[in-house]
Amino acid sequence: MAPPCWTADFLTGFDVCVASIHSHLDLPGTAMTRRLVRACENPFVNILGHPTGRRIGRRPPVEADWDAVFAACARSGTALEIDSSPDRLDLSAVGARDEERAAGTAHAHMPDTRRDVPEQHV
């Protein structure tokens, strides 16, 4: 597996860092669990973004031991993104629990994906 994309020197300049999976979504469950836990344990990561990688009608959630991922988030203080984009709704796919920290987003990377954000928040 590839090392993290950014160096510690680069990441120290940010107030908030979000780690999200965008590749190798077909890893076996144990490898994906290790990958997600490692992201949570990175001292520069504050939020685990769209943790399941799911895109409703296009891509199923990744396989992972979600209890282990949730435990790693709790240990490290890493929040889980509640991705409210209608084609993601990540955490509902794996049953996130009340005891995890959460960060709500609309997954608005580009202008055309802001359609899901109410106008007063843009």
| 43-96 pLDDT, tens digit each | 999 988 888 888 888 888 899 998 899 899 889 999 888 776 777 666 654 555
15-107: CATH topology is TIM Barrel (3.20.20)
Q: How many residues does the chain have?
A: 122
Confidence (pTM): 0.73
Give tens-digit pLDDT for 5-57.
778 888 888 888 889 888 899 999 999 999 999 999 999 999 888 888 888 88
- Both tokens of 38, joined, read 């490692």
Domain map (residue ranges) of the chain: 15-107
